[in-house]
Amino acid sequence: MASDDTGEGGGAGIRKIGVIGAGQMGNGIAHVSALAGYSVVLNDIGQDRLDNALATIEKNMSRQVSRGTVAENESAAALGRISTSIDMAALADADLVIESAVENEQIKIDIFEALCPLLKPGALIASNTSSISITRLAATTDRPEKFVGMHFMNPVPMMELVEVIRGIATDRDTYARVTAVARRLGKSPASSEDFPAFIVNRILLPMINEAVYTLYEGVGNVEAIDTALRLGARHPMGPLQLADFIGLDTCLAVMQVLYEGLADSKYRPCPLLVKYVDAGWVGRKSGRGFYDYSSEPPTPTR
């Protein structure tokens, strides 16, 4: 997968990628970027988070090697291309910085305000937001024309799609170069206009929210709802199981963006989803959501 191409096919002039946020999305973005031959700097606020991210990347690459999808020497070379830092100044010479922090607009704005003074003038910025306005985020930076949305799917190393979202100020060159980077990462880019939740989550999250309403109203329990969609619609996992995988806090954040951005009652977050998030039951990452993950197989909580 690695290539030395820095021409149009690989995103002209982009050799070094910074990734802000070392969670499950950020470490996945660092993973595929390093495998594609880019030099990668992974940044987060805590060294423990960075250490955990590196361990996850190493484990996931080892799995790819064992499956024969990545050669052992490719994996070793990719791991050698990744450095980590808790200091954002380490991103100063990056050609493209991909922000992958928590889905909270103010936190993202704070990151961009700290980042922009450190970057070289030609550096591009992409946000991995799953729902927040690219136009609005770009307007908080010193380079709105060089700002774009780059929404990866989870888990990043396995999922083929990247939504590329133009803000109103995003110039053609930025869009073309970031689209080329997505292709070099082995992804299929889908162009989306800058409307709340873009394409995938505009369709997916209301379905999940409706599944939570179906549970809330007692139409079916967790097991019945997930079984119905797996077997009746050929979905690989049920909507409540998928919500746990995504994170119920992220699901709620996207629904709130849809509800506030489109002012349509059909996007109102289900009160039961709000209650689970308030309880800290946000899915797999917390050990409990619509399923309890303290046992194997996980047991429904409702």
Chain position carrying tokens 């989550």 = 201
26, containing H or E segment? helix 24-35
Q: Is 163 a catalytic residue?
A: yes
Cα 63 to Cα 55: distance, rounded to the nearest angstrom: 12
- 78-83 contacts: CB < 8 A, separation 24 or more? 78/2, 78/31, 78/34, 78/35, 79/34, 81/34, 81/37, 81/38, 81/39, 81/40, 82/30, 82/34, 82/40, 82/41, 82/42, 82/54, 82/57, 83/39, 83/40, 83/41, 83/42
Q: Which of 27, 60, 130, 133 is catalytic?
A: 130
The amino acid present at 240, given as its one-letter code, is L
31 is catalytic: no
Listed in sequence order, the residues at least 6 apart from 92 whose beta carbon sits closer than 8 Å to its beta carbon are: 118, 119, 120
Residues 6+ apart with CB under 8 A from 24: 56, 154, 155, 285
Rounded distance between C-alpha atoms, residue 259 and residue 269, angstroms: 8
- The residue type of 289 is G
Q: Which of 74, 75, 151, 209 is the catalytic position?
A: 151
Rounded to whole angstroms, the Cα distance separating 78 from 252 reads: 35
Q: Which of 33, 163, 192, 209 is catalytic?
A: 163
Residues 6+ apart with CB under 8 A from 236: 230
Q: Cα(first)–Cα(last) distance of the chain, in Å?
A: 44
Amino acid at 153: M
Residues 272-286: b if buried by 16+ CB within 10 A, e if exposed: bbeebbeeebbbbbb
Catalytic residue positions?
Answer: 130, 151, 163, 201
